[in-house]
Amino acid sequence: MPLAAMKMEVARLEKLAREMRARIIENSHKTQTPHLGSCLSCVDILVAAYFHALRLDTADPAHPDRDRFILSKGHGAAALFPVLATRGFYPESLLDTYGEDGGLFAEHPPTPKHLAGIEAATGSLGHGMPMGLGMALAGRIQKRSYNVIALVSDGECNEGSIWESAMLAASQRVERLCVVVDFNKWQATGRSREVLALDPLVDKWRAFGWSAIEADGHDMAGLVKLLTHVPDGSGKPMVVVAHTIKGKGVSFMEDDNNWHYRIPKAEEVAAAKKELGVAA
Amino acid sequence: MRNAFADEVTRLGKEDPRVVLLSGDIGNKLFDKFKENAEGRFFNCGVAEANMMSVASGMALSGLRPVVYTITPFTTTRCFEQIRVDACYHQAPVTIVGTGSGLSYAELGPTHHSLEDLAILRTLPGMTVFAPCDEVELRLGLRAALKQDGPLYMRIGKKGEPVIHKTPPSAFALGKAITLRPGREACLIAAGTVMPEVLAAADILEKSGISTRVESFHTDAARLAEVFRSTRLVGVVEEHGLLGGLGGAIAEWRAAEEGNLARMLAFGTADEFMHEVGTQEYARRKFGLTADNIAGRMLGALRRAA
């Protein structure tokens, strides 16, 4: 893509990300949905993936050659749902039923059979990435060239199954699997480096046989470049350790872990939207 | 049974390019033929069963028919949540095979016994649970498992179990019990490799003048209704704990069923770990899973009722 066109594309994606943030905050207030901080930290990654990198056909969401994206950190579902709607998997009006009795939108993603665009029902941590590895291996067996991107949280790296999966992916040299770590430095009740010994996270992945890249998880141009270069040519599975800020985009939410569970009040929603530059 | 499993999965792998075999670092050499015939479709997933189950589910959601194989506790209790969420919640067609089930590996100690697997796995929505009594049922069941669209758990034995079906059963289907012997007065229902003891118990009962029917059981409510209405006493036998397994399932059915039903006796392992060392035969004697004990308790109950 020529430089000028790429600049316009990045600006488009950044605008989308601001709009998604505003919607996520509005929805949290309206439906009393928690995990706002966790949702806001991964918005840029979701937008770069769904609106640029992934090869998808929303008219045929189960196409066997599609790229797969798995929100392994399933508690970020409230960020994923508006992204899928805006991307065209289902009408945006469907989001009005969020959290309603008998509806589809829970606090974690449902199964692919129940909502188009979802690849795996996640929510119990440490499941999505291994399932994504299975999908990537299936692609290799079936001689298809789709990629699988799995978004995990830093807290999720507490789960042993993440590291079991990392070892199998490395021994099988599954180069069409890309894990993105939403490294926002927090988990539910504390700093992720303090709860369990997470550091040095990049070195850990490298020691497990992965091609590990450190990145700014809010730099849209950088994310787009990385996610459109899967596989990365190393012959290894690829991990992007994306430095992010929990609650990113709203000054009074950033890096404040109270927003893991806190619900914004009406005036906080208005203030957030003002900061994001999104009309009321 | 292990060898029959390896042979049948190799045949199926040759016939169907969707069949993939995942093993938890066991079965060295056992799957050499599968590897030869299904290149690129065998995965030694290492000693990492949680990941193995999720990987299999991801494969199943991508159009494959994965078969997961390791020693029973490690393919069931070890990774129960992966079975629950990844296989069952997604209705992913994963075939889970537990080898050395029940007391098959008695000598290895309680870490390797599996006396809870039927109980926990049958609680999962959409899960089919199957315990073949011999290699004939194993082969037929494996074939049927790969044709269905949801998850299935199969518990099998070790090696050298006798063949029960001298000729293949005429119409095999998952969820249909197979009548091994007709009988009018009593019935023994069993699932899995304890069947030779059950047939020997039926022999003893016949010699004592009790016409005894034997059913190789795969949850079949219609057959239960027939058996509990046509006989006086039903014994349910399994190499599994008394809590929640085949006996538990049938007791649940019986409690909800109306009318005059036969009495039921349950034979299984007690609510305890077997701390002492012993062979499978020793363990069966300890828990009363022998022909003599089964027949004796059945006769006692029939006499008291007479």
> Which residues, at least 6 apart from A213, have a Cβ–Cβ distance to it below 8 Å?
A226, A232, A238, A239, A240, A241
Dihedral Cα B273, B124, A76, A158, nearest 10 deg: 20
Residues from chain B that touch A72, judged by Cβ atoms under 8 A, are: none
CA distance A275 to A257: 19
The helix (H) or strand (E) run that includes residue A192 is helix A192-195
Q: Which of A64, A121, A130 sits opposite B54 (nearest CB)?
A: A130
Test B54 with A140 for CB contact under 8 angstroms. Answer: no
Place of tokens 């609510």: B271
> Which residues, at least 6 apart from B34, have a Cβ–Cβ distance to it below 8 Å?
B6, B9, B10, B13, B21, B41, B42
**Segment B109-157, tens digit of pLDDT:** 999 999 999 999 999 999 999 999 999 999 999 999 999 999 999 999 9
Q: What is the mean pLDDT of residues B92-115?
A: 97
- A280 has pLDDT over 80: no
**Segment B51-78, tens digit of pLDDT:** 999 999 999 999 999 999 999 999 999 9
Which of the four pLDDT bands, split at 50, 70 and 90, describes residue A114? very high
**Nearest chain A alpha carbon to B47:** A164
Which of the four pLDDT bands, split at 50, 70 and 90, describes residue B174? very high
Nearest residue to A68 via CA among A141, A14, A119, A2: A119
Number of domains in chain A: 1
Compute CA distances A204 → A207, A208, A213, whole Å. Answer: 5, 6, 12
Nearest residue to A220 via CA among A1, A17, A25: A17
- B256 has pLDDT over 80: yes
Q: What is the ipTM of this complex?
A: 0.97
Residues from chain A that touch B57, judged by Cβ atoms under 8 A, are: 131, 134
Chain A interface disruption, residue of B45, B54, B78, most A CBs within 10 A: B54
- A138 burial (CB, 10 Å; 0-12 / 13-18 / 19+) is buried
Neighbours of A255 (CB within 10 A): 14
Chain B interface disruption, residue of A72, A137, A143, A177, most B CBs within 10 A: A137
Which CATH topology does B178-305 take? Rossmann fold (3.40.50)
DSSP category for residue A233: S
Q: Which of B50, B58, B66 sits opposite A133 (nearest CB)?
A: B58
**Segment A48-106, tens digit of pLDDT:** 999 999 999 999 999 999 999 999 999 999 999 999 999 999 999 999 999 889 999 98
Helical H segments across A42-181, by residue range = 43-48, 77-87, 128-141, 160-171
pLDDT at position B305 is 84
- B259 has pLDDT over 90: yes
CA distance B162 to B133: 9
Nearest residue to A135 via CA among B301, B88, B192, B54: B54
- A1 has pLDDT over 90: no
Give the count of alpha carbons within 13 A of A142, CB side only: 21
Domain that holds residue A244: 3-276
Residues from chain A that touch B41, judged by Cβ atoms under 8 A, are: 141
Tell me the nearest-neighbour CA distance from A14 into chain B, angstroms. 32
- A207 has pLDDT over 90: yes
CA distance A269 to A246: 17
Test A142 with B63 for CB contact under 8 angstroms. Answer: yes
Which of the four pLDDT bands, split at 50, 70 and 90, describes residue B103? very high
Nearest residue to A65 via CA among A156, A153, A135, A127: A135
pLDDT at position B171 is 87
pLDDT at position B219 is 80
Strands B186-190 and B212-216, by their bridges, are: parallel
Bridge partners of A216, per DSSP, are A243
Q: What part of B 264-283 touches A (C-beta under 8 Å)?
A: none
pLDDT at position B66 is 98
- B306 has pLDDT over 80: no
**Nearest chain A alpha carbon to B82:** A127
* Active site (catalytic) residues of B: 49
CATH class of B2-155: alpha beta
Bridge partners of B43, per DSSP, are B22
Contact of B45 with chain A, judged by CB distance below 8 Å, is answered with: yes
pLDDT at position B28 is 83
Test B46 with A126 for CB contact under 8 angstroms. Answer: no
Test A161 with B59 for CB contact under 8 angstroms. Answer: no
Residues from chain A that touch B51, judged by Cβ atoms under 8 A, are: 130, 133, 161, 164-165, 168
Chain A interface disruption, residue of B34, B39, B55, most A CBs within 10 A: B55
Tell me the nearest-neighbour CA distance from B45 into chain A, angstroms. 7
**SS3 label, residue A214:** strand
**Nearest chain B alpha carbon to A126:** B51
Test A126 with B62 for CB contact under 8 angstroms. Answer: no
CA distance B85 to B104: 29
pLDDT at position B218 is 80
pLDDT at position B178 is 96
Residues from chain A that touch B40, judged by Cβ atoms under 8 A, are: 140-141
Residues from chain A that touch B90, judged by Cβ atoms under 8 A, are: 111-113, 120-121
CA distance B118 to B90: 20
CA distance B303 to B185: 12
pLDDT at position B27 is 87
Q: Which of A121, A130, A168 sits opposite B89 (nearest CB)?
A: A121
**Segment A116-131, tens digit of pLDDT:** 999 999 999 999 999 9
Test B50 with A130 for CB contact under 8 angstroms. Answer: yes
Give yes or no on whether B2-155 and B178-305 have one common fold: yes
Per-residue b/e over B260-281, b at no fewer than 16 CB within 10 Å?
ebbbbbbbbbeeeebeeeeebe
**Nearest chain B alpha carbon to A172:** B43
Residues from chain B that touch A137, judged by Cβ atoms under 8 A, are: 43, 55, 58-59
The helix (H) or strand (E) run that includes residue A239 is strand A238-243
Tell me the nearest-neighbour CA distance from B80 into chain A, angstroms. 12
Contact of B290 with chain A, judged by CB distance below 8 Å, is answered with: no
Domain ranges in chain B are: 2-155, 178-305
Q: What is the mean pLDDT of residues B145-173?
A: 95
Residue pair B241/B119 in contact by the 8 Å Cβ criterion: yes
Which of the four pLDDT bands, split at 50, 70 and 90, describes residue B217? confident
CATH of the domain at A163: 3.40.50.970
Task: Determine the straight-line distance between the first and last CA of chain B, rounded to whole angstroms.
Answer: 41
pLDDT at position B170 is 87
Residues from chain B that touch A67, judged by Cβ atoms under 8 A, are: none
Compute CA distances B99 → B6, B47, B123, whole Å. Answer: 11, 15, 20
- High-pLDDT (> 90) share of chain B, %: 97
Q: Which of B51, B58, B59 sits opposite A161 (nearest CB)?
A: B51
Q: What part of B 4-33 touches A (C-beta under 8 Å)?
A: 20
The helix (H) or strand (E) run that includes residue B143 is helix B135-147
Tell me the nearest-neighbour CA distance from B117 into chain A, angstroms. 21
Q: What part of B 144-173 touches A (C-beta under 8 Å)?
A: none
Nearest residue to B129 via CA among B242, B44, B218, B40: B218
DSSP category for residue B211: -
Nearest residue to A27 via CA among A89, A125, A94: A94
**Segment A217-259, tens digit of pLDDT:** 999 999 999 999 999 999 999 999 999 999 999 999 999 999 9
Test B55 with A131 for CB contact under 8 angstroms. Answer: yes
The DSSP result for B242-268, as a single string, is SSSSHHHHHHHHHHH--S---EEEEEE
Handedness of CA A160, A162, A163, A168 (dihedral sign): positive
pLDDT at position A226 is 98
Nearest residue to B131 via CA among B154, B147, B151, B159: B154
pLDDT at position A97 is 92
pLDDT at position B235 is 98
- High-pLDDT (> 90) share of chain A, %: 97
Handedness of CA B102, B106, B108, B111 (dihedral sign): positive
Handedness of CA B295, B297, B303, B306 (dihedral sign): negative
Nearest residue to B158 via CA among B116, B217, B105: B105
- High-pLDDT (> 70) share of chain B, %: 100
Helical H segments across A33-186, by residue range = 36-41, 43-48, 77-87, 128-141, 160-171
Nearest residue to B69 via CA among B12, B9, B17, B115: B9
Q: What is the mean pLDDT of residues A145-155?
A: 98
Give the count of alpha carbons within 13 A of B254, CB side only: 21
